[in-house]
Amino acid sequence: MTVDEGRRITITAIAREAGVSVPTVSRVLNGRSDVAPQTRERVEELLRRHGYRRRAARPRVSASLIDLVFNDLDSPWAVEIIRGVEDVAHAAGVGTVVSAIHRRTASTRQWLQNLRTRATDGVVLVASDLAPPVHAELRRLNVPMVLVDPAGVPTLDIPTIGATNWTGGLRATEHLISLGHRRIGFIAGSPSMLCSRARLDGYRAALEAAGIPLFDELIQPGDFYHESGLEGARALLALEERPTAIFASSDQMAFGAYEAVRQVGLRVPDDVSVVGFDDLPEARWSSPPLTTVRQPLTEMGLLAARTVLRLAQGEPVETPRVELATDLVIRDSTAPLVDR
């Protein structure tokens, strides 16, 4: 694509032809040093070729911003991602704009409208299924994007940052099996999320490897929040042969399971062992401290911010698909099975 020579050239058109963001062109114009040499040469050559001249006053300037977009902000999980992005943004002298679109078309449309009025360096979308219209509009605006924990299967041209969810699910279940548990309940996360399906698959793989039958009644639906953990654990504990251990797909659901165990007069881990997933800060302070799979949420935010800033500077991303390692953190909510 080349710029129409018969029209007054804009930095948006220059950015589109150069394959970079508008803030990158602004940084070149302002003599900033945080632009890759090859990118700078390409932009400067296009500026010369098209005879670009600054307007006396331009409504859009390089604002040095990262847009960080969540579906919701009502979880401590989101705070850990924000912490990682903020650390990188602060070090780079870049601001952060945090938005929640609540899975609503109107909210997404409003966010895009806001995005058009400011010069953002790039967008980090968290736990989102990037709709084709949103993808197309971000491409039209030449805004680099990175997905963290994508909901669905992303297109190949968008870098993604995730965690080893299958391995985490496997390790958590193997830990319970090593303690002698055979009836292990599972509370799943949102079924639309890739990470949810991966954790469930890891649970199933561990049972199969140990020769333990898989019973559908031991798998309860959830949505990562406390209430679904409470309801899922209630259903499991009401079974004629209740599980001796519960693996919840998030720490918040594990805390909900704690409450369900308490309500029926049982104790964690004396009567029911519980494992979570995330290792949120409150996991170590719960009573008892929660055994959980540590998901490197802050590190995921760090890497996402670094990646989007590299893209904004016109630098290539060597590995478009990154999965950071999960680790099992053993605390006091799991114990060896005692025959009842």
Q: d(Cα 257, Cα 248) in Å, to the nearest integer?
A: 8
Would you say the C-alpha torsion 317, 322, 194, 125 has a positive or negative sign? negative
Q: Which residue has the tokens 């104790």?
A: 267
Q: Which two tokens stand for residue 96?
A: 């952060």
Edge-to-edge strand order for the sheet containing 145-148?
Answer: 95-100, 65-70, 122-126, 145-148, 160-163, 321-324
Residue 273 phi, psi (nearest 5): -80, 145
pTM, full prediction? 0.80
pLDDT at 152: 73
Residue partners of 302: CB distance under 8 A and separation at least 6: 84, 85, 87, 88
Give CA–CA dist 260/236, Å, rounded.
Answer: 10
DSSP string, 198-260: HHHHHHHHHHHHTTPPP-GGGEE---SSHHHHHHHHHHHHTSSS--SEEEESSHHHHHHHHHH
pLDDT tens column, 10-52: 777 888 888 887 778 777 776 666 778 888 888 888 888 887 7
Average of per-residue pLDDT across 245-263: 98
114-169: per-residue pLDDT in tens?
Answer: 888 877 889 999 977 777 788 888 888 888 999 998 877 766 678 999 999 999 99
* Cα–Cα dist 190/35, whole Å: 40
